[in-house]
Structure 1
Amino acid sequence: MTGVTRWTGREAGLLRKAMRKTGKAFAELVGVNQRQIPRWEGRGETLELSLTNQAALDTLLSQASREIQLRFAALLTERAAVQHDARAEELLRRDSRTSKHPVDGKVMTLVEEGIYLSGPDNRSVWLDSFLIDVYPTTNEDYDRFVQATGHRPPQHWPDGRCPVTLTTHPVVWVTWHDATAYARWCGKALPTSRQWEKAARGPKGRVYPWGDEPTAAKANVAETGIDDTTPVSRYQSGVSPYGAFDMCGNVWEWCSTEETPGGGRYELKGSAFTSPFERAAPSLQNAANASMRDNDTGFRCVSES
């Protein structure tokens, strides 16, 4: 995982928690008096550690197991991920704007008809109203589809069954054909790239779902160091103007729009946990062959309003 730019008492405390160590055991690993640890954690971000202690923590983190590193990365970004601002709180309360789909049971949000600013050059584009899934399709959602239809399960499911630990994570290792089959099963469709972009950016051309500030901590991208999918409801501070989650990061999402008509390649939107933050802007383009499947690619659906 990426290192810590500046160790404060907060980061030291989170590493101790990730390692599941007592203050005494952690102090021995760092090479300080055990009385230092509660002082560090009590001072939190107001205490920047000495260069010697920062170097010791760098070494401790780099030599930690993969499990500990992932746990530390998740703890490090947790506060920014779930922090609600007034805008997010308002959107999450708008029950009149959302509805539950009768087949797959997913919550969908209304994107009203009208002009939105599209692409890097913010061209004015008109779209009719539509409903889009608030969250990407999860492993649990996809499992219901597999059980109902006998469709091939994703390759990362042990013995073809949805892992309990991944139920709320976005399904991955699905091709464009797999995503389309799911959409047909529940009477929906994959979004066009323009529908997806409007749901992510809103009508006024904001750069990211949350605004114009490039805040990597609001999305599961490479800089977070998590290096895996996260639950689809985790990044509440990154919610879009229409209340849609994970429109930046976590997984790339298949769209119904072909890159070139008849070419067999379809647009992908949103970036993933494997992507640098510079690829996260919803206006950017990406595409892949319809038969491509990967550990960072999933989808969500739309329907008529």
Structure 2
Amino acid sequence: MHIPTIVGDAFAKWTGRQSANDLSTAVQFPDAVDVPLDSRRLIRNRRYCNVLSKHCELEFDSVSLECARKALEHDMAYVPQGIVRLMQDVVVEEDRRYRLKQSTFVPVQVESFFLDRDCVTNADYARFVQAGGYEDHQYWPQETLAWVLQFVDRTGHVGPNMWSHGQPPADLLDHPVVGICWYEANAYARWVGKRLPTTAEWQRAGTWPHMRTGAAAEQRFPWGNAFVRSKANLWKHGGCATIPVDALNDGNTPNGVRQLIGNVWEWLDSRFDSASEGDVKIILEEVLAEVRGGAFDTYFASQATCQFRTGQPVLNRPHNVGFRCCISATDLRSSTENSENN
């Protein structure tokens, strides 16, 4: 069975559609012109998961639900459940000295989910800023409210630190948004009705399907085990800055997720720390969130595999870290639920 068929079959179980090849061809983002105004605004602002979420208390008509499903199908890829093996560094004490033990691999079960095909762009994030996302407390945890308005751009307006006057550079609208901290990434994800992926989910997206069995079944890159510099925007690709999120399609995953490797590191919904053995305790000066995938200025390809893990302080706003969002398949209304509500 071909990979597009596998993906299509899995997606069809959620949508109730018969075709197994729904995702094998490009789908246009729906115009939503025939959708009621409130739903149209949500869908056009890429907030369609607020329409589709089974946790939403609002009811939507069948036209809105169908349009939102088409928007999700356009923007997101289905990743089936499975097991990943997370690389874990362990700090041990030997002869009164500390050393980093050879990495171990911990199996983790991942449930089915949908992942953004692209990193969030400057244009995407601008909609959040213009909608007052920084001033709306519902998208920010309580501990951040005292200083959330200090997340400002070069001119003192709220927004990513690479922007000016609350606006992204006009020539970088289709580039991944950078200069945002972990809290800002999470706030945007809540606004669109999604969340950041966990480290296990991110790795699952980049390493399935396994082409062979055994301990080494996971591939190192979305396209295979050999690094190919033309497939990812890393230092060796020759770039010195970000590129549009839809570039370098040769490096896509089989189900159409772009640039998991390279262009920008990606914030994840997982705290980063090292494990320890015995009585060893690790105390970090700052809380770190995990980032994955490497960036345009990552020199070593070994740091841009699907298994490599590192972290950034949650308040850092780096020039080379962006993010993409996801949603669990179980958090979406099924087609049966939709028909019952209509």
With the shorter chain as reference, the TM-score category is 0.5 to 0.7
1:228 CA displacement: 0.2
Query: Residue by residue, what CA displacement relative to the aligned partner does 1:48-89 show, whole Å, maximum 9, x if unpaired?
Result: xxxxxxxxxxxxxxxxxxxxxxxxxxxxxxxxxxxxxx989x
Q: Does 1:113 align with 2:81?
A: yes
Task: Provide the residue aligned with 2:291 in structure 1.
Answer: 268
Cα pair 2:7 2:23 within 8 Å, conserved: no
1:118 CA displacement: 4.0
Query: Residue by residue, what CA displacement relative to the aligned partner does 1:142-200 show, whole Å, maximum 9, x if unpaired?
Result: 00111112522112223221222111100000100110110111111111011011111
Q: Does 1:297 align with 2:318?
A: no
Report 1:144-163 matches (<5 A).
144-151=127-134, 152-163=158-169
- Following TM superposition, the consecutive aligned residue runs of length 4 or more in structure 1 with deviations greater than 3 angstroms are 90-103, 116-124, 260-263
Distance 1:179 1:157 in 2: 16
Distance 1:210 1:201 in 2: 9
1:121 CA displacement: 6.0
Which of 236, 252, 257 is matched with 1:223 structurally?
Answer: 236
SS at the partner of 2:224? coil
Report 1:120-135 matches (<5 A).
123-135=106-118
Distance 2:106 2:172 in 1: 39
Cα pair 2:265 2:321 within 8 Å, conserved: yes
Distance 1:96 1:135 in 2: 16
Query: Residue by residue, what CA displacement relative to the aligned partner does 1:16-68 show, whole Å, maximum 9, x if unpaired?
Result: xxxxxxxxxxxxxxxxxxxxxxxxxxxxxxxxxxxxxxxxxxxxxxxxxxxxx
Using structure 2 for the length normalisation, give the TM-score: 0.58
Report 1:1-305 matches (<5 A).
95-96=22-23, 102=43, 104=46, 107-119=75-87, 123-151=106-134, 152-204=158-210, 205-260=218-273, 264-276=287-299, 277-305=301-329
Unaligned runs of 5+ in 1: 1-85
Change (3 A) 1:219 1:118: same
Unaligned runs of 5+ in 2: 9-19, 30-41, 48-71, 88-102, 135-157, 211-217, 275-283, 330-342
Cα pair 2:267 2:292 within 8 Å, conserved: yes
Cα pair 2:290 2:312 within 8 Å, conserved: yes
Higher share in helix: 1
Distance 2:173 2:224 in 1: 30
Which deviates further from its counterpart, 153-162 or 247-256?
153-162
Q: Percent identity?
A: 33
SS at the partner of 1:255? strand
Change (3 A) 1:121 1:218: farther
Distance 1:303 1:181 in 2: 15
Distance 2:22 2:195 in 1: 23
Using structure 1 for the length normalisation, give the TM-score: 0.65
Distance 2:22 2:182 in 1: 31
Q: Which amino acid aligns with 1:292?
A: N
Distance 2:181 2:252 in 1: 26
SS at the partner of 1:158? coil
1:114 CA displacement: 2.3
Give the paired residue count: 219
1:235 CA displacement: 1.1
Distance 2:21 2:179 in 1: 33
Distance 2:242 2:7 in 1: 24
SS at the partner of 2:83? strand
Distance 1:150 1:285 in 2: 30
Distance 1:198 1:259 in 2: 18
Distance 2:312 2:194 in 1: 22
Distance 2:21 2:173 in 1: 25
Cα pair 2:302 2:308 within 8 Å, conserved: no
Distance 1:150 1:124 in 2: 37
Query: Residue by residue, what CA displacement relative to the aligned partner does 1:217-271 show, whole Å, maximum 9, x if unpaired?
Result: 1100011221000001101000013321111100000001011499621100000
Q: Which amino acid aligns with 1:148?
A: A
Cα pair 1:200 1:241 within 8 Å, conserved: no
Task: Provide the residue aligned with 1:63 in structure 2.
Answer: none
